Amino acid sequence: MNTTALLIGLGPLLGWGLYPTIASKIGGRPVNQILGSTIGTLIFALAFAGMQGIAFPHGMDLWFSIISGIGWASAQIVTFKVFTMVGSSRAMPITTAFQLLGASLWGVFALGDWPGTNARIFGGLSLVAIIIGAWLTVWSEHKDAGNAKKLRDAVILLAIGEIGYWAYSAAPQATSIGGKEAFVPQAIGMVIVAVVYSIFLAMRGEKLALAESVSYKHIISGLFFAFAALTYLISAQSNMNGLATGFILSQTSVVLATLTGFWFLGQKKTSKEMTVTICGLVLILAAATVTVLI
C-alpha cells in the first residue's frame, strides 16, 4: 500500500471520527444537526461533482441513489437522538457494531459472501465478537437502574436505525453507476429527509429548524461527513485500497469518535470503564478485519 492510498483510506478516520463529536459540540436539537449536516454534504457533493465534471445520473440509478441518502438521513436522526440520551462516546461503538453486523449478514444472505464451512464459522465467531465488543464499550462499573433503562432504549433505537444505514449501503448496489456518480443524488435524498422532518416537527408545535441559525452551523459537521464518505468511495476502488481494506480503514473512525467524546464533550468514565471500553473497541476492529478478509 503506497502512502497516497493509505492517507486516502484514513480519510474516514478523520471525517467520520470527528463528525459526531463536532455535531454534539455545536449542539442544538437532532433536527438542527441533521438539517445542517445534510446541507453541508450537498454543498460538498455539488462542488466535487462540478470540479470533476461528473454527470447527473438518471432513471433507476437516480432513484436508488436518492433512496440511499434517505436511508442514511433517517438513521442519522435516530443516532442524533441517541446522542442526547447516552452521549456519542457510548452510542458510536454500538451503532458501528450494528452496521458491521448488518453489512456482514447482507453480504452472506444476499451477495453470497463467506462461502464454505470454515468461512461461515470464522464469520459467525467474528459477529459474536462484535456484539461482545459493543457490550464492553457500554459496560458500567456502578449499576444504576435509570441509566440501564436509558441504555436499553438507546440500543433498541440504534437497532431500528440500522435499517436506514443498511439502505444507505445496499441501495447503490442496485445501480449501474459508481459511488462518485451516486454522491450528489444521495445528498439530495438526505436533504429531503431533513427538510421534511423539520416541517413535520414545526407542524407539531416545535420551532422550525429551517429558521434557526444553529442549523446552519452544522454545515461544518456535514462537510466532515461528506469528506469521509468521498474518501471511502475513492479508497474502496480496486486501483486504490480495494473494498476489503478500504472498509477496514474506515472502521477506525469509531475509535476517534469514542475517544473525542471523552476528551471534548466531558462524557466521563471511570478508569476501569475506560480500560474495558478500549478493549471493546479493539475487539470490534479485530472482528471487522476478520469479516472482510475471510
Tens of pLDDT, residue by residue over 148-180, are 888 899 999 999 998 998 888 788 778 888 778
How would residue 39 be classed by pLDDT, with cut points 50, 70 and 90? very high
Angle among Cα 223, 77, 44 to the nearest 5 degrees reads 15
Compute, in degrees rounded to 10, the torsion defined by CA atoms 163, 165, 167, 171.
Answer: -160
With bands split at pLDDT 50, 70 and 90, how would you rate the model's confidence at 242? low
| Separation CA 206–CA 200 (nearest Å) | 9
What pLDDT, on the 0 to 100 scale, is given for residue 284? 87
Q: Rounded mean pLDDT of the chain?
A: 87
The percentage of residues in the chain with a pLDDT greater than 90, rounded to a whole number, is: 45
Contacts of 166 (CB under 8 A, 6+ apart): 71, 102, 103, 106
pTM (2 d.p.): 0.85
At residue 1 the predicted structure's pLDDT band, cuts being 50, 70 and 90, is low
Report pLDDT for 220: 96
Over 80: is that where the pLDDT of 11 sits?
yes
List phi, psi (to 5°) of 143. -75, 140
| pLDDT-derived band at 186, boundaries 50, 70, 90 | very high
Residue 50 is placed in which grid cell?
Answer: 462540478
Q: How confident is the model at residue 229 (pLDDT cuts 50, 70, 90)?
A: confident
Residue 64 pLDDT > 70: yes
At 67 the pLDDT is 95
Q: Give the containing element (helix H, strand E) for 106.
A: helix 88-111
Q: Is the dihedral of CA 80, 175, 240, 124 positive or negative?
A: positive
Q: Give the pLDDT band of residue 243 (cuts 50, 70, 90).
A: low
Above 70 in pLDDT, residue 292? no
Contact 168, 41 (CB under 8 A): no
Q: What is the structure's pLDDT at 244? A: 61
